Structure 1
Amino acid sequence: MPQDQTLSAVSPALNALRSGTQTLHVALEKRLPFFSDTLDLERYKRLLGAYYGFYHELEERLQHSPWLTCGFDLQARLKTPALCRDLQALGVSIPSLELCDTLPVLHSQASVLGALYVLEGATLGGNVLRKQISERLGLDTHNGCAFLFVYGAATGQQWKAFMDFLGSVPLDAQARGEAVQAACSTFSCFEQWLERQEVLV
């Protein structure tokens, strides 16, 4: 979870999302195998394949959502293309990958924002994971690690832009609750999917 600002200095929506998802976020983080001694190239391929199955379906749903806020450039923030490049570079057959069939319900503008918060926050944390994968497996953005560095040197800037965007959307207490619920559901659906794909530790 990004802690680049104190909770008192951020928007009410970001404050609610951070505090409301912290337990789920920490629990999932502990189960991801990026820092596990058992992580080798084959397990990394399976992990990326599982990520693809979830991100592809969730981003498809977001792209077709009538609740996507006008002015938010989702196309510039899609992660599935980077996952495709990585999987192709690693010789994984994308058509053979299973796709996630259990996704968070996105029934409002606030719920869409909650899901986006999880995806953007994960992208911010990817930079740390990228360094680990580079050291452990010798991969970089050209041969299997583009997803973890999808924004490149602009990662911090992209996160700040998302925080600014989130703070600009007027959300009352009920809407903030919907955003937190959707974010929690996104974490839960993702963890359950990774569990089904047997890629967690």
Structure 2
Amino acid sequence: MHSQAHDVDAPSLLEALRIGTALLHTALEKRLPFFSERLDAQWYRRLLQAYYGFYQPMEAALYDSALIPEGFDTAMRVKTPTLLTDLYALGLDDHAINTLPRCTQLPTFDTHAACLGALYVLEGATLGGQVLLREMTQRLDVNADNGGAFLNIYGVETGRRWKGFLDYLGNQALDAPAKQHAVDAARSTFSCFEQWLDSQEVLL
């Protein structure tokens, strides 16, 4: 009873994740080249290849961990197949895709909380996709059918699926140490992603 009273003023999992990742999120956004005047079709393709090199092992590690709490619809939210479709549309074949470098420095998904932290980053990355796709369509003639489907992966469902994810997060009963573990995993996901994109020389 005492512990419950003590937790009343503790931040929710969502608040903890938002606060804990805000600076990393802002820093990465500033380095993404989507709105750079120098971004051309070749750079865009390298960028999508780098995204695939992160998302493919990241999602595999997450989903293979069997530690994602019940209620997360993996089939509806997996991103790698859409990235694959985009890479094919951009001219890559199976051999080229299979030989793309993959990120090996990933967070460790050894608890339910760690999985939640990583999912928060991956799902949050879908927000603003409509703006990104519109920009790429205007600048590079990229649309959902020729290499830009990943940018706005949920389309008109983006808002509803984000709200659904927030509801899912809100239903997770995590104590303070577990919340911190989730925040640490989210921060690590941001850091690993930025370091990976940096190593692939696709950031500003």
Aligned to 2:179: 176
Q: CA deviation at 1:75?
A: 1.7
- State the one-letter code of the partner of 2:58: L
Question: What residue number does 1:28 align with?
Answer: 28
> 1:1-55 CA distances to partner (integer Å, 9 max, x unpaired)?
xxxxxxxxxx700000000000000000000000111100000000000000000
> Paired residue for 2:164, among 139, 161, 165?
161
- Mapping of residues 88-103 of structure 1, within 5 Å: 88-92=88-92, 93-103=96-106
1:197 lines up with 2:166 in the alignment: no
User: Partner of 1:86 in structure 2?
Assistant: 86
**Structure 1 residue 116 displacement after superposition:** 0.2
Amino acid of the residue matched to residue 199 of structure 1? V
- Residue deviations 1:41-76 (CA, integer Å, cap 9, x gap): 000000000000000000001111121112211121
Residue 113 of structure 1 deviates from its aligned partner by: 0.2
Find the residue that maps to 2:143 and give its secondary structure: coil
1:122 match: 125
Distance between the aligned counterparts of 1:174 and 1:43, measured in 2? 41
Match of 1:16 in 2: 16
State the SS of the aligned residue for 1:47.
helix
RMSD of equivalent CA atoms: 1.0
Instruction: Report the equivalent of 1:106.
Output: 109
2:37 aligned residue = 37
Q: 1:133 aligns with which of 131, 136, 139?
A: 136
In the TM superposition, residue 161 of structure 1 has moved relative to its aligned partner by: 0.2
Matched, 1:55 2:55: yes
- Find the residue that maps to 2:144 and give its secondary structure: coil
How does the TM-score come out when normalised to structure 1? Answer: 0.93
In terms of Rg, which structure is larger? 2
Per-residue CA shift, 1:137-162, capped at 9, x if unaligned? Answer: 11111101000111111010000000
How big is the shift at 1:126?
Answer: 2.2
Structure 2 contact 123–162 (Cα < 8 Å) conserved: yes
SS at match of 1:91: coil
Shift of 1:105: 1.1
Secondary structure at the counterpart of residue 124 of structure 1: coil
Given the two structures, how large is their TM-score scaled by the length of structure 2? 0.91
Counterpart contact for 2:71–2:168, Cα < 8 Å: no
CA distance in 2, matches of 1:193, 1:16: 25
Q: What residue identity is the alignment partner of 2:189?
A: T
Task: Report the Cα distance in structure 2 between the residues aligned to 1:89 and 1:66, rounded to whole angstroms.
Answer: 32
* Structure 2 unaligned regions, length at least 5: 1-10
Distance 2:135 2:87 in 1: 18
Q: Distance in 2 between matches of 1:146 and 1:110?
A: 30
